[in-house]
Amino acid sequence: MGYKIPLFKLNFDEKEAQAAFDTINSGWISTGPKNEALEQMFIDMFHVKYAVSVTNCTGALHLACMLCGLGPGDEVLCPSLTFAASVNCIRYVGATPVFCDIVSPKHLNIDPKEIEKKITPKTKAMVVVHMAGFPAKMDEIMAIARKHNLRVIEDACHGPLSEYKGKKLGTIGDVAAFSFFSNKNISTGEGGMLITNNEEFAKKARLLRSHGMTTMSYQRAGGHATAYDIVELGYNYRLDDIRASIAIEQMKKLPGDLERRIAVRKRYLEKLANVKGVVVPFADCTEFVSNYIMPVVLTNSTKERRDAIRDKIHECGVQTSVHYPAIHRFSIYKDYKAELPVTEYVTDNEITLPMYASLSDADVDFIVETLDKAING
């Protein structure tokens, strides 16, 4: 069905189209000058030392696991309330994911107490997902990591430019991954970025993203090298310059887009305060965040009731979603025994409402009124 108010809208105009057109006309469309410019934008805007563009966030997470030296016999702590890529990357390197519960319906990120409880001699790292762009409890998490000598991989795909106590998400742990998927704050259709302050990590990531080759086509075409060696078993995780050119335009828009999203969320919080039967996750967060999505969690509810409420909302022309089905419930992960009561309640009773910069106050008011009627009659 067509929706009066969709879940998401692209923040595209003629600038993205012109950037792609100009890149195509330049004669160089694979990894080249636009990727270099995009990586420098990340370095400058995130105040980080190194940025490596890649095909998608999944590739960045896979590389991050490799950079952290993870492999068979290692355990990696992770949430289940996330997209599958956050956990699949652990298995790509042969390591074992160990699922941890989230803090509460009011704070949807991994619980540091759960992390501490599930550490074993085999634990080597953790994947921390900043859900909806809101920061996990990074002071506690990093203290645990230092105490047990664990690597920290930040899945920051929801949180470009989000902050935690003055630091950009993705710059606190050892290495981080960002996504340029079509519905993300930075959208190119597909694409991603790996960032780190570790020089050796950055060097190895550049090798691994392009078959382990010591030079890339753009370098050779520019006369900087005439041959190459292959020194690692790498992958084809290169981002093309067409998408990189689009990402550059998206990055230029990002600060203004996030400011507008803050205003949209403020309106949501004002209106949702009058709705009985819902909890708004991260409602007390005062950090600068990306507001990637707008989740609410029903109270004293069930999955069947949640789905019926979503149906009523859809009938009124408002699109919703669910972020996310719990990973440990998927068929491929059922053998990884996990008891996660908070995660399971949230994944059964969460509703994601529309969130994008162009939502008007009237749109938000209509969405919340529709939600209220669906819940409370």
pLDDT tens-digit profile of 199-208? 999 999 999 9
pLDDT tens-digit profile of 8-19? 999 999 999 999
Residue with tokens 């020089």: 199
**What pLDDT is recorded for position 220?**
60
> Which residue type sits at 222?
G
pLDDT tens-digit profile of 179-238? 999 999 999 999 999 999 999 999 999 999 999 998 876 666 666 667 888 999 999 999
Judge whether residue 301 has pLDDT over 80.
yes
pLDDT tens-digit profile of 100-109? 999 999 999 9
Mean predicted lDDT score pLDDT of the chain: 96
117 burial level (CB within 10 Å; 0-12, 13-18, 19+) = exposed
What φ, ψ does residue 294 adopt, rounded to 5°?
Answer: -120, 85
**What pLDDT is recorded for position 343?**
98
What is the average per-residue pLDDT within 44-48? 98
**What pLDDT is recorded for position 45?**
98
Percent of the chain exceeding pLDDT 70 equals 97
Element (H, E) at 278: strand 278-279
pTM reported for the whole predicted model? 0.96
**What pLDDT is recorded for position 227?**
80
How many CB atoms neighbour CB 120 within 10 A? 9
| Angle, vertex CA 355, rays to CA 5 and CA 368, nearest 5 | 65
pLDDT tens-digit profile of 245-282? 999 999 999 999 999 999 999 999 999 999 999 999 99
Which domains, from first to last, does the chain contain? 14-251 (3.40.640.10), 255-376 (3.90.1150.10)
Listed in sequence order, the DSSP H helices in the chain are 14-26, 33-46, 57-67, 85-92, 112-117, 138-148, 199-208, 217-221, 241-272, 303-315, 341-349, 361-376
> What is the rounded CA–CA span in Å between residue 228 and residue 214?
5
pLDDT tens-digit profile of 13-42? 999 999 999 999 999 999 999 999 999 999
The single-letter DSSP state of residue 323 is S
